[in-house]
Structure 1
């Protein structure tokens, strides 16, 4: 069936309008909403995949763990894994030049591993020895390595390029990596992941039902938390210049 000249013209015009709309739409959605998130289109897609996996696998496991085990047992398990992390805290504090904090971490580990029954009891905190939270990404930041763009990794979630580069060091500096036997090693790793996920359940409940952009919320929370940890709980005050760019209130950069 042939079309008249006027119909062909209208058809071509419609296609042109639709194509133009798609191009403009693509350009609009490709613009990052955060200066440190240039790969936002990819990151959002990967975030959706990770979020779906979390909904189907990880969160249900964490909910079962949280509902089945009594609070004293959950506290003991959390303390156990936290105690193992003190060795990595000590190493990173030493690399950052915080010698006193490093020795405090080692003393925490020794005290909790003995009198605390392999870390199940947090005797060190009761004795007033401060708990630290250090990783190699923070160490690189202290050494002056820039953070780089934000990137959402499969399964591992969002982090900047600096923290991504630090992942192998963090993995091999954790005691559970050296558990003998693959079954035992991965059982420890899986248990630690479930425990950490269960600790985030209150945060899930806090944002449930709220009309928010979950991706942007999680990304911005990551930036704030990393800034807080890198500066040991005392991040520099920032203000915005006339162009809306953040300026470090301490360094003036």
Structure 2
């Protein structure tokens, strides 16, 4: 475990240096959006990520989706999702959501045994819903503001809060302990390709639409993260502690005034 902590710390430091250098260059630019004061830097990183995706990741993900049998893709997705249930349980407990935490632990136990190490998801049909909690959500639950939006190299959309939480998420990934190293690296690559394959249709539609993809992804990410922190329950939201969260509140209120109320989701929030 010490090796994992060291690796996570090195990744965190390297990422922090790269982001800090870019932010210094972007600091002199006039911000166009109060939630995105580093937009010039973020757009540059977005273009870099987009080029990497077009040249490397998307073609591989397309081949994976087209040629790998569906049951194998499902197995890969289930396997890594099962590993994530452990960290999700830990974050639910840190957020004092005991019922959701026990739900995630039970999911992991069932799928790891009767589900062939997680290749089969037998917990969901049994009524054990899946949660995807991470340390960034835990920090948000305890009142840490999201801070400005960031576009990270390779990793994609984030915020200052979620970036600060990355080392903990990397350290807690059970796959980081897999041996030998070749197996671990192969698994990391397969997981990345599988995750990219799951959003191919959505990304293709986005590319065809006549809109600013950067803004669409940014706004969608910020709204989604806010929703996940508060389990889709606006009444749980604390008073904003930073101007970025205050601006998000203003935008949400404007949208609520412009749009009719939507029916409550059938899914029961975690407790």
TM range (shorter): 0.7 to 0.9
Distance 1:62 1:80 in 2: 18
The answer to whether 1:246 aligns with 2:250 is yes
Distance 1:88 1:198 in 2: 23
Shift of 1:177: 0.8
The equivalent residue for 1:36 is 35
The equivalent residue for 1:148 is 147
Distance 1:247 1:84 in 2: 36
The equivalent residue for 1:186 is 185
**CA shift digits 1:191-244 (9 cap, x unpaired):** 111111111112112213211101111101111110121112334599xxxx99
Secondary structure of 2:124's match?
A: helix
Distance 2:130 2:217 in 1: 25
TM-score (norm 1): 0.81
Shift of 1:31: 3.6
Distance 1:142 1:94 in 2: 12
Distance 1:64 1:107 in 2: 35
**CA shift digits 1:22-50 (9 cap, x unpaired):** xxxxxxx9443321100001110111011
Unaligned runs of 5+ in 2: 1-27, 238-246, 254-271
Quickly say closer, same or farther: Cα 1:38–1:107, change in 2 above 3 A.
Answer: same
Distance 1:230 1:123 in 2: 27
Unaligned runs of 5+ in 1: 1-28
The answer to whether 1:69 aligns with 2:68 is yes
Secondary structure of 1:124's match?
A: coil
**CA shift digits 1:37-82 (9 cap, x unpaired):** 0000111011101110011011111111100112122111111111
The equivalent residue for 2:120 is 121
Structure number with higher relative contact order (C-alpha < 8 Å, ≥ 6 residues apart): 2
Secondary structure of 1:159's match?
A: strand
Structural mapping, 1:129-148, within 5 Å:
129-148=128-147
Query: Quick check: 59-68 or 180-189, which moved more?
Result: 180-189
Secondary structure of 1:151's match?
A: strand
What do you get for the CA RMSD once the two structures are aligned?
Answer: 2.1
The equivalent residue for 1:222 is 221
Quickly say closer, same or farther: Cα 1:248–1:204, change in 2 above 3 A.
Answer: closer
Shift of 1:160: 0.4
Secondary structure of 1:221's match?
A: helix
The answer to whether 1:197 aligns with 2:201 is no
The equivalent residue for 2:269 is none
Quickly say closer, same or farther: Cα 1:108–1:52, change in 2 above 3 A.
Answer: same
Larger radius of gyration: 1
The equivalent residue for 1:112 is 111
The equivalent residue for 2:160 is 161
CA contact 2:230–2:236 (8 Å) conserved in 1: no
Corresponding pairs, count: 217
Distance 2:31 2:111 in 1: 46
CA contact 1:237–1:248 (8 Å) conserved in 2: no
